[in-house]
Structure 1
Amino acid sequence: MRNIALTLMYDGTAYHGWQVQKRDVTVAETLEKALAHVVGHPVKCTGAGRTDAGVHAERYVANFRTTSSIPCDRIPLAVNTRLPGDIVVTKATQVPEDFNAIGSCQRKEYTYRIYNSRIRNAFLVNRVWFYPKHLDEEVMARAAQHFVGTHDFACVRSVGTETKTTVRTVHYFTITREGDMISCRVCADGFLYNMVRAMVGTCVYASEGKLSPDDIPGLLEGRNRTDAGPTAPPQGLYMTNLWYPVPNLP
């Protein structure tokens, strides 16, 4: 039995997130069906994390086990012929038996994109948060820096998946502008449900003057979700990088 790690990308617009669900079409379900045709037996994929409906991944990792002897370099070509165009497997790597796409992941990076213009862009529909009111990216960046470090992030967590602790370590949170596009890039050892989107919403609140960047340490200490900013919409969020202690993986 081989353990195979897949590197893939997907546009999440048409899917109800990564995780297999009873009624809704998901990325995992679609991938598992395509893989089953290729390897000749049912497949169960373990993903690097749950992404919500409408969230995208420029880089994502999932692993599955197979008795098939198909070479790894042939798996992407074979499975992509059975996948819709919005999901693409870019690489397959044989990994140790104990490798697990979520459990072995050391760090994750998400990028949230805001199209900050008075006029929307037709080619960015479902791929950014269109925000017509001008945002000050420097104020947002000052707010973002207060999230860096090891904190209790309960104030930017939505009710959802249960977790043992709401303490996480954010390695960096940068906010930059290029033309009308604002990119919010955040890396951590793990994320709570809607954590990135709530952090972005809080930085937007800071730009609008609804709170000060210097208020954020107090928000973190208070642990009250209603004190922080809103949860930004899902379509602007992308998983962009992952770190593993395995050669040849992202």
Structure 2
Amino acid sequence: MRIAFGIEYDGTDFLGWQRLSHGATVQGALETALKRVADEPVETTAAGRTDAGVHARCQVVHFDTDVRRDMRGWLLGTCSNLPRSMAVTWAQPVADDFHARFSARLRGYRYRIVNRLVRAALDARYVTWERHPVDAQRMHDAAQALLGENDFSAFRAVSCQAAHARRFMKKISVTRIGEEVFVDVEANAFLHHMVRNIVGSLLLIGRGEQPVEWMGELLAGRDRERAGPTAPATGLTFLGPKYEAHWGLPEQVTL
């Protein structure tokens, strides 16, 4: 039987999604909890691997098991064995050919920036602080150069293991609400550090240190060394993947 979970987590105290032998990870914590519910080892697959310190609003995972539990049992049993920074928000059976990663058609991220003279306190774990004034409209205008299918080598981490750098960017927007600036991105898939590298470059444009046209020049140049610095992980949240309706998943993750 194949089961899908929706999971939210605060990534601050984790070394990312992927299970590691030398530190706490989201996958490790989830599989430890599932082992207690199933009374046997359970291996999970996620829609996307988040980096150390990155959060998730709805990470989708799947796992296979022959253990019989009702969905309420899987949901509440797993939650009760997770750290307080994680929660399973929904659980349901899925078709055997559903794959959390390969069945996803789109993925979305949000990057939050507190733009004021003093740092954040209450939201410090979930935002990045930028003390210099930034122009969100300039950032938004610059970001539109990234739309469509492109080679995103300029925003790809050196450690990225993807076979190629071509990705389809469906949407990208930069908006301001009071002291907060939001960068919302939706694409078919992302490269390692891609969103954080894009944000790092957009901030230089927002501060007036680079022209609006610079973003398109970076994209065309495909040179990571010319682009801006990698923005901190703190402000990044994986909003979740999107799947075709025939999989019967919750509306939250359906196209």
Same fold (TM over 0.5): yes
Deviating beyond 6 angstroms after TM superposition, the runs of 4 or more aligned structure 1 residues are none
Separation in structure 1 between the aligned mates of residue 9 and residue 207 of structure 2, nearest angstrom: 32
The answer (yes or no) to whether the contact 1:176–1:183 under 8 Å persists in 2 is: yes
1:204-243 alignment, distance < 5 Å? 204-243=203-242
Structure 2 residue 100 is matched with structure 1 residue 101: yes
Aligned amino acid, residue 170 of structure 2: H
Displacement after TM superposition at 1:242 (Å): 1.3
1:144-223 alignment, distance < 5 Å? 144-223=143-222
Displacement after TM superposition at 1:135 (Å): 0.7
Displacement after TM superposition at 1:218 (Å): 2.0
Alpha-carbon deviations, 1:157-208, whole Å to 9, x = none?
1112322210111000011111111110000000001000011111111112
| SS in structure 2 at match of 1:205 | helix
The answer (yes or no) to whether the contact 1:32–1:44 under 8 Å persists in 2 is: yes
The answer (yes or no) to whether the contact 2:132–2:207 under 8 Å persists in 1 is: no
Structure 2 residue 115 is matched with structure 1 residue 121: no
Separation in structure 2 between the aligned mates of residue 121 and residue 208 of structure 1, nearest angstrom: 19
Separation in structure 1 between the aligned mates of residue 192 and residue 81 of structure 2, nearest angstrom: 31
Aligned amino acid, residue 78 of structure 2: V
Aligned amino acid, residue 248 of structure 1: L
1:24-35 alignment, distance < 5 Å? 24-35=23-34
Displacement after TM superposition at 1:113 (Å): 0.4
The answer (yes or no) to whether the contact 1:7–1:59 under 8 Å persists in 2 is: yes
Displacement after TM superposition at 1:90 (Å): 0.6
Specify the alignment match of 1:111 in structure 2. 110
Specify the alignment match of 2:83 in structure 1. 84
**TM-score (ref. length: structure 1):** 0.97
Unaligned ranges ≥5, structure 2: none
Alpha-carbon deviations, 1:128-170, whole Å to 9, x = none?
1011111110111111111111111000111123222101110
Displacement after TM superposition at 1:43 (Å): 0.5
Separation in structure 2 between the aligned mates of residue 130 and residue 216 of structure 1, nearest angstrom: 22
Displacement after TM superposition at 1:248 (Å): 2.0
Moved more, 157-166 or 168-177: 157-166
Specify the alignment match of 2:249 in structure 1. 248
Moved more, 213-222 or 12-21: 213-222
Aligned amino acid, residue 84 of structure 1: P
1:39-50 alignment, distance < 5 Å? 39-50=38-49
Displacement after TM superposition at 1:219 (Å): 1.4
Separation in structure 2 between the aligned mates of residue 41 and residue 227 of structure 1, nearest angstrom: 49
Displacement after TM superposition at 1:74 (Å): 2.5
Unaligned ranges ≥5, structure 1: none
Aligned amino acid, residue 177 of structure 2: E
Displacement after TM superposition at 1:81 (Å): 0.8
Specify the alignment match of 1:64 in structure 2. 63
The answer (yes or no) to whether the contact 1:109–1:241 under 8 Å persists in 2 is: yes
Identity of aligned residues (%): 36
The answer (yes or no) to whether the contact 2:112–2:236 under 8 Å persists in 1 is: yes
Moved more, 208-217 or 148-157: 208-217
Aligned amino acid, residue 249 of structure 2: N
| SS in structure 1 at match of 2:12 | helix
The answer (yes or no) to whether the contact 1:146–1:213 under 8 Å persists in 2 is: no
